[in-house]
């Protein structure tokens, strides 16, 4: 859904496989949004006191949401307390005001509301927003795993995320990969596939926004000598060969190696120019390629083999397979000599 050029999708295509809540009543809009996110006051500042709410959501907790009030509004929430949030305008602009700063949010600059004190927002008319939420403990645990340490105090994030940077674009791509997994009507993803995508979103979120973790731990410093990097890369490759077919994710593999995800990322980037998730995906693709080449099309299917190799979304698997090998997985299944 998202291109390398950072082109935002049409709001109508975001979560279009899920039900849409629509209402012109600002009181109903305030009530329903409060139930999903947190208590707040909502004040329309145009549109004769009405709104044109469009809301689609994967649900409370860790989730992806499309929210459009259809008109200009002021929003005054209480402190979020229990969850973190990123708001990415798909068009238009919005302002986030805290005691210390004012953020002018656009498709190139997402807003990240503070979690421990009140704030206010003004959304201009024509500003549908893609919102990602994560429970406080979940993102904090992801930060501890990513950086391999724990801070004395709570995780604190900067109030904005630059979507034009490579890290911002990577975050957005991971969000839409997760989006695609959930936006298929009547098809629940495999739990391990959902968990893999969630952990990728959390890691990319933390890489794309400044935090007290990244500042205190100097995340961009190389943590080990070249020899240690090489040894870690070899161990990771061996672990992939032995366990990539199992229900494991990058966090599990890093834990098995006794390092943080960030340490593993740095080592692979320096030695191979790759990432843990990319190597895990490519290992699974190679295994799927071999299994498809050996399979009997009268007994096996592309879907069953994709699932056995750790892919929970057939469309994403087929796309990745074609990019890796230059042809569709069904061609390998029909003709083992194709690969």
Residues 265 and 293 placed together within one structural domain of the fold = no
> Which of 98, 116, 134 corresponds to the end of one domain?
134
Assess if residue 290 is contained within a domain.
yes
Q: What is the mean pLDDT of residues 72-100?
A: 94
Q: Are 306 and 332 found together in one domain?
A: yes
Average per-residue pLDDT in the chain? 86
Running DSSP on this structure, what letter comes out for residue 337? G
Residues 238 and 319 in one domain: no
In this structure, the answer to whether residues 124 and 234 fall within a common structural domain is no
| Of 72, 103, 134, the domain-final residue | 134
Q: Which of 97, 119, 134 is the last residue of a domain?
A: 134
Looking at the structure, do residues 116 and 54 belong to the same domain, yes or no? yes
Do residues 111 and 21 both lie within one domain?
A: yes
Q: Does residue 220 register a pLDDT over 60?
A: no
Please report the pLDDT score of residue 226 as a whole number. 59
Q: Is 294 helix (H, G, I), strand (E, B) or coil?
A: helix
| pLDDT (0 to 100) of residue 25 | 96
Same domain for 333 and 247: no
- What pTM was computed for the model? 0.69
Tell me what pLDDT residue 176 has.
93
Tell me whether residue 208 is in a domain.
Answer: no
Please say if the pLDDT value at position 3 is more than 70: no
Kindly list the distances between the CA atom of residue 136 and the CA atoms of 32, 59, 200, 286, in Å, as whole numbers in the listed order. 21, 16, 16, 37
Mean pLDDT computed over 108-135: 95
DSSP string, 109-129: EEE---SSS--EEEEPTT--E
Checking if the pLDDT of 281 tops 80, the result is yes
DSSP class of residue 219 equals T
pLDDT tens, position by position, 11-37: 999 999 999 999 999 999 999 999 999
pLDDT score at 134: 97
In a domain, 44, yes or no: yes
pLDDT for position 223: 46
d(CA 253, CA 259): 9
Q: Is 298 within a domain?
A: yes
Q: Is residue 200 part of a domain?
A: no
The secondary element (H helix, E strand) that includes residue 261 is helix 261-272
Same domain, 326 and 235: no
Is 40 among the domain residues?
A: yes
Tell whether 260 and 302 lie within a shared domain: no
Count of the separate structural domains present in the chain: 3
pLDDT of residue 198: 92
> What pLDDT sits at residue 133?
97
Give domain status of residue 48, yes or no. Answer: yes
Please report the pLDDT score of residue 217 as a whole number.
Answer: 56
Greatest mean pLDDT among 56-60, 195-199, 273-277, 306-310: 56-60
**227 falls within a domain:** yes
Instruction: Look at the block and give the residue holding tokens 């995508």.
Output: 197
Residue 47's pLDDT band (cuts 50, 70, 90): low
- Give the domain range for residue 320: 284-338
- The answer to whether residues 101 and 119 belong to one domain is yes
For the ranges 195-204, 213-222, 225-234, 305-314, the maximum mean pLDDT occurs at 195-204
């Amino acid at each position: 859904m998202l291109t390398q050029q950072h082109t935002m999708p049409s709001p109508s295509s975001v979560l279009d496989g899920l039900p849409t809540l629509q209402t012109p009543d600002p009181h109903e809009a305030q009530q329903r949004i409060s139930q999903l996110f947190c208590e707040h006051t909502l004040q329309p500042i145009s549109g004769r006191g009405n709104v044109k709410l469009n809301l689609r959501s994967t649900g409370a907790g860790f989730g992806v949401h499309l929210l459009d009030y259809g008109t200009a509004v002021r929003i005054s929430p209480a402190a979020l307390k229990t969850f973190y949030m990123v708001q990415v305008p798909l068009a238009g602009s919005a302002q986030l005001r805290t005691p210390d700063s004012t953020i002018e949010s656009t498709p190139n600059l997402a807003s990240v509301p503070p979690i421990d004190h009140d704030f206010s927002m003004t959304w201009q008319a024509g500003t549908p927003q893609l919102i990602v939420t994560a429970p406080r403990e979940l993102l904090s645990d992801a930060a501890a795993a990513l950086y391999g340490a724990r801070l004395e105090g709570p995780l604190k994030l900067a109030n904005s995320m630059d979507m034009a940077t490579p890290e911002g674009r990577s975050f957005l791509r991971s969000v839409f990969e997760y989006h695609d997994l959930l936006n298929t009507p009547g098809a629940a993803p495999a739990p391990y596939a959902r968990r893999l995508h969630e952990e990728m979103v959390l890691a990319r979120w933390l890489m794309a926004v400044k935090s007290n973790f990244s500042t205190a731990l100097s995340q961009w410093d190389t943590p080990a000598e070249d020899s240690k990097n090489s040894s870690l890369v070899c161990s990771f490759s061996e672990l992939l060969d032995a366990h990539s077919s199992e229900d494991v994710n990058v966090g599990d593999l890093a834990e098995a190696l006794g390092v943080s995800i960030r340490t593993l990322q740095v080592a692979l980037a320096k030695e191979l120019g790759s990432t843990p998730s990319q190597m895990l995906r490519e290992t699974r693709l190679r295994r799927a390629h071999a299994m498809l080449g050996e399979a009997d099309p009268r007994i096996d299917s592309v879907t069953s083999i994709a699932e056995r190799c750790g892919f929970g979304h057939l469309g994403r698997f087929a796309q990745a397979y074609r990019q890796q090998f230059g042809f569709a997985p069904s061609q390998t299944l029909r003709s083992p000599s194709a690969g």
